[in-house]
Amino acid sequence: MEDRGTAESFGSLTSPKHPGYNPYKLPNSNASIRRHGERQRQREEAVAVERKQLPVSRKYTASSMASKNNRLRPVDIFLTQPKDAEPVALAAIETRSALALMDADVGAVKTQEPTAPSLPSIAKQSRRYLRESRHSFLENRKNVLRLRMASEMKRAEIARLDLEASSKEEALARSEERAEEKINSFDAFLKSYDTRAHEAMAKTDTVTALKSDKINKVRSLKEHVLVLERETSRLRTFKQELNRYRKFLAEITPEEWFITKTHEKRERKRKRKAKKVAEEWTRIRSSIESNLELELPSIRSAWEERNRRTASSRRGLRGKSREAAQRAAEEELDRMISKRREELSKEYPSRTELERSIESESSGEEIPGYFTEPKQLVDILTALEDKNLLAIQLEAESDQVLAGLTSELEETERTAGMRKEELREQKRNLEKTAQMEQKACRALSAALVDKSGADKVDAELQHVEKKVLELYSCIIGESHFAEISHMLEGVEARIEEIGGELDELGEQDGELINNLEGQMEKTRRDRMRVQKAEDHKQKVEQRLMAAYQRMESSSKGRGTAKPIRFRSSPQDATKNKKQAAEDARKRREQEYSELLGVDAAQIGARRRSSGRILH
């Protein structure tokens, strides 16, 4: 628990450095008395501690203490004085007690316990030692001196205490004044603090209200911004959709519309430029004419001056000469005016330069839309849909045709390969036949030379010529040569030509071959279609005819038993098959003729008539 009555606690609380220091608290009235007792107690404790630390030789016994216990010495008086006594009083005490220190034991005095002098004990000692020696008398005198010195010290102490009390009272008064001033200043501080607090509270309320207004305004502005952002995003989306729709309309708009409107816009632009050039040119001409009007008096005065100079020479003129001179003078005036007009015109740009310098300005208008009514869009979309359907149909047909052409191309390539091999085989057979005929000719010539009969030689030669003619007619055609050797050379040349054509046929451009094969295949399909239609028609007619005949036969023998029906003969089918084979052979011969440029039918007929030529 805190001791609030001690000097230490009071000193600590009155210290400005203490955390609990209060400058406006008044000190306790008993604090000075308590502080004085505390100091006395501290001095006694210090003397006791010093006495305990003395060696044994310097300590005194109980008997010595009994004899010296009631003595009053100056040293004891000195030791009993407070440490904070005034220096003047201490100096007086030291001077007056000099005699007492002459025969005193300094060491014993220092170790003697300080005690306050007792007046009854001093009177008792004086009665006891009346018959003592001079030493006792001196001792008594010393005691009297000590008493006087003690009384003086007490009076000095009282004066000092009075002075200290007055100073303390003055200090207390000053402290009270300062406390009062501080209280007043503190009250003023509190008032000013309250005033500032009220002002701060009012300002805080104002700022809070303003802040709430600002917050509400910011919130409303944010809401407005959000609304604007949503509206902006909606308008942006609408703009994108509008641009897409406009682009779509521009894509489906006829090209003629854009061409026409662009031409009209360019024409309007040209007219605006022409109008601007005309206005500028009119302004320039008016400026030239106004300047010329200003200078016209000076020109006319110069002309009149010149006319006066030449007037003396015209005075003698009469009639037409005078009129001619007058007209010449007027023409001179017109020339002067025209010359000045040209000079003024050179100061301004010409019409061509004006047209070149003035740029045509665009009106900034966009090309108007083609679609003004919903029906136009419907019509355009309907037309586009028809086009799309037609394109889809054409694409499907093209795919179909392409698939057919691909299959036909494969078939044609296979057929062309087979034809090529057949023609090569025919070429080899023809070469062998020609070699055999040449050998036969040589043998016949040798036999004819050996034989002596001219008729027989002529017959053999005629036979050879006949065979050569047949061979020539089969390969080339009608003969234009009279010599057999020329015919044989022509046959060999034709065979080589056919072989070269066969070789070139495989090396020709694939597209040309494909086109030719496509044309041939198309012709063949057309013929096959017509042939199939005719065959179907013929079969239908035959079926109808057979049904009609059965109906007639059944009607004739209706009264008798049921007629016997026999299986139809397969002759018609065989005949149809033969006819189809013959037609196919003719078509192949025609294709060979178109491909090779020769009469394949004639070659086939001759090959069938004389089988040994090719076999």
Q: Hey, what amino acid is at 115?
A: T
pLDDT of residue 486: 72
Residues contacting 602, CB < 8 A, separation 6+: 473, 474, 477
Per the prediction, the chain carries an average pLDDT of: 71
CA distance 195 to 496: 136
The model's confidence at residue 217, banded by pLDDT at 50, 70 and 90, is: very high
CA-to-CA distance for 84 and 86, rounded, in angstroms? Answer: 7
pLDDT of residue 65: 59
- Please give the pLDDT value at position 343: 83
Over residues 518-537, the pLDDT tens digits come to 777 888 788 888 888 888 88
Asked if residues 97 and 149 have their Cβ atoms less than 8 Å apart, the reply is: yes
Q: pTM score, two decimals? A: 0.30
Q: Cα 183 vs. chain centroid, distance in angstroms? A: 74
User: Shortest CA distance to 153 belongs to which of 42, 44, 102, 79?
Assistant: 79
> Does pLDDT of 78 surpass 50?
no
Residue 21 confidence (pLDDT): 54
DSSP notation for 489-523:
HHHHHHHHHHHHHHHHHHHS-HHHHHHHHHHHHHH
316-328: b or e for each residue (b if 16 or more CB lie within 10 Å)? eeeeeeeeebeee
Question: 335 falls in which pLDDT band (50, 70, 90)?
Answer: confident
What is the distance between the alpha carbons of residues 498 and 508, in angstroms, rounded to a whole number? 15
Residue 132 predicted with pLDDT over 80:
no
Q: How far apart are CA 293 and CA 290, in angstroms?
A: 5
Range with the poorest average pLDDT among 11-20, 180-189, 247-256: 11-20
Q: What is the pLDDT of residue 89?
A: 45
pLDDT category, 236, cuts 50, 70, 90?
very high
Summarised one tens digit per residue, pLDDT across range 445-454 is 676 565 545 5
